[in-house]
Structure 1
């Protein structure tokens, strides 16, 4: 998911070429280094955190590194284009840059510097801001929406607004902003957005009004389904049978942290990766039971960074106690 405050829309990719050797035409057999990320923004999320976002730096990026001054503070997968930098000091100015690293480990040039100042800490502040009212929205093409709302009130100050699609937080903007453009959406998909206000003490307001929008166009979900899905049944050392799954995460404009496993036509369990989700190939196992000869059908889908469920994977069939397929 990539969202940017109004009126910023699209930024052209910038490739840095210079005498330092970054991005030159002879940077090894694979060509140029990753470009410097563009569209970088930073906004305080609370007295101790800053929300940093950027545009994708083209294809072939393994991960992004976020720097506070000259210190690397975050390392995120290449599909992710935002991060909350935490454990900061209140009432302190910070400078951030972002760099891209390719699969060969080569580090591209830094982005332009962006600045953000955390607000002062507030002692014993347990009063949340009022809910944002009068949320309005409209589609901006098949992959973006524009949202606006009335400012919330707080006994001190509103530091940021968090934007939700369904129950998933997908974007944040600074407390002085009451509008945003949310991009990276899917064509022909219904969405429901809400906004919540946050103060410096991390008190979060109730959700405001819900706005429902459907992006124009069509999307059959095939591009959002996990790829190369495999499923096998095995017998564990305890004598029970387990289902072993393996798949490749869908390519999305953001990081996928949650999957839903469908067993015999029903949603059986959810899998949420804590920390950094696995890159590329992912695996998971869960308990099936102790009876041999039971046949099961299994599929998998991902919760996408826009908060919606992606397409279901190909269906696989397994039978407990049967020989593994060659």
Structure 2
């Protein structure tokens, strides 16, 4: 008798995921068709870079490049292609998009993976409102009219909600968030909650976001949460009409944060100051942790001075596929995803 065939250990896992993975391919084709039809140029940028990003809390993967002469250059796997893509926009003035693999160390949950796909695009002359319009159109093109997530039925066909952060805090937390900006004790009093030892205003802001705001938004239809406090500007420019806030939005659907977008800051001096503040905070939060001191990205900062007015967005492609496929685990939509 012939020897019995032993199934490959990946067979059952991939078979279970195959419907989700085939949906991934459909969404991928839809995304490319959407941007190609709108005149965007698809680009590819390096994954191993001298500067992986400046986010305070993100952990990164490190490596090094060995030169032919024996020299070694420290490199990191990028957490986003943002810096390189903005350099391309500054050099060409073209609208660009990329489906990039990105890496974030010390992450893993039903919504997080250490390696995943980010869809980013940058559009010269676009405003935040125009970018929201475009994002809505994209999602309607690649998602069914109703998606299910976390027990919610979310309508995609109707106009998405557009809600300012200050209005969300007033509605769901009873707090004038902008009046307390920078004062953790004042925010704790206004929110009627305890201020934990060592907790900053930013820490408490995000704790309240998770506990009191996020459970209410994006449950019936997707929600654009817009006009973030200026301290959360990151790479966004401040609103000229109200410098207390930044021209930034995040997109939520079914308890999932899908995207983060900016009307881009084009002032290299201000951006350098923000990066330096982020670096100081990162060192204070993670004292003695190795691998946190990479070079400032001078090429990116130089490019900002010639970057045309534009808006850009980073959208978690795997999470988009999760909504399209109706699954609650990111590993279900990755061919060799863990978990």
| TM-score normalised by the chain length of structure 1 | 0.22
Structure number, greater radius of gyration: 1
Of Structure 1 and Structure 2, the greater strand share is in: 1
Of Structure 1 and Structure 2, the greater helix share is in: 2
Q: Which has the higher contact order (CA 8 A, sep 6+)?
A: 2
